[in-house]
Structure 1
């Protein structure tokens, strides 16, 4: 999302500044305060000779004098290429948008003055009165939203969409009362504490039926020869059971992450393969290798071109190849 953010102060032209901000897609579910803080940080770096801006003494508006509560979610407040205006004076922290014609102190209490409250259940955000609240008044989602690549949805539901308007129309999967409690402030119960409470209540029906059997390390290794505690190298463990790609013509396909090249066995040598030590990560629209988090690409072809961070011989899945790989593997000097 691209935004044009302007700072204006009457009669103070030297303080004016316009910045073009590009927000990552992961910010769609974040509060608008994060955008304000990003602008203020950039403004204060550029306007070093002026008194710095403070987020507690400015507010954000859209065209037409619509004041935006900085506690509301970015995707609910903004659209791509919106013009935003940062102006002196504090604004509302959260709630529905207010207009400039309202008294400054009325923004925070605008809902209470009408007798309406704002539901904080996921996916609802509707105004309601407590006297009309009931167990069937609210249709909402049980879990927070999910934003992955360009897909959007709710983690409690399987449906995924690409358009923001469609995302906002996904019907809630749960019916209940409107709530003033932010779901993000509710902590999940600890299973450890739950188990302790159950034991304290005297529920020990299963404790006498099965006694814990304690094994020695030797006994464990004998009964679990393929376990990580047994005497095998980490390299052989991570590659155990891998298919062999050697072909009758003496060629093979490398199985190392980020390589996957076809090669001739006779041409394999200790520095033939540049590969990645860990798997790929796809988060929002960004793509990178877990072992190289500093190099993020947004185009898939560019992602495939990220050079490996490790150097060794090619690995084709055979035992001979595994032994050679383990012997040759070493950290590359980087690119």
Structure 2
């Protein structure tokens, strides 16, 4: 009878307990936009690259693998317990101004078409579906239940841009049920090497009483061609990268900004956007088309 291996990085169905198993014995790490495992050195920026990090340890399959430590989201040496203790012992902060909802409706989202397998695609057996949240392997005729949005890791919570659920543990994040149903995508469309590829880039933000600082994690952006346009209620971003890749998006902003007082800076692994607030109200989310019950930090994020 086939059983599922519970080692992280393997998680395959097996029938032979003596079969070699390749896995990660350490816990996942998400820190300052980088992702990796405690047990090995590779660090990457995107979630897809994280899932592709090759396992570093060889052993035997297990159905009772030990539960890993919680995902590390802070610097080395700082434990979640320390962070909670610091928050409890911190002096009371100045109360935030009340946020008043805007009567202006947010602009409609423009969704790009889902990538699909071509009708004549040759799909090798045991190929994993490329859609986030779906673990099916070919051949599989069942409906694909997945997340069309990008992963979000912010202030310790984890989720997807396409749905509201947020969790704390990485294992729980991997179990978040998909929110959209379609066909599986095992190989995807064959891309022309000369054709520009639009990619997804994760973002994070923190705020002060006067500014919202947004980090867009895009690697090796061509600084001379990067464009960031500021409007009172919108942020338009166009970031070209090597290998004909480009990140392009328009963020409908939660609050008003001062376009003249807003700036951006291109760095090696990210683009930092400094939005000058139009008032001192707190932003619970970056986008006006997202809802959140989280308390968003006022001040710079914790660093190692």
TM-score by length of 2: 0.29
Larger radius of gyration: 1
TM-score, normalised by the number of residues in structure 1: 0.27
Question: RCO greater where, 1 or 2, for CA within 8 Å and sep 6 or more?
Answer: 2
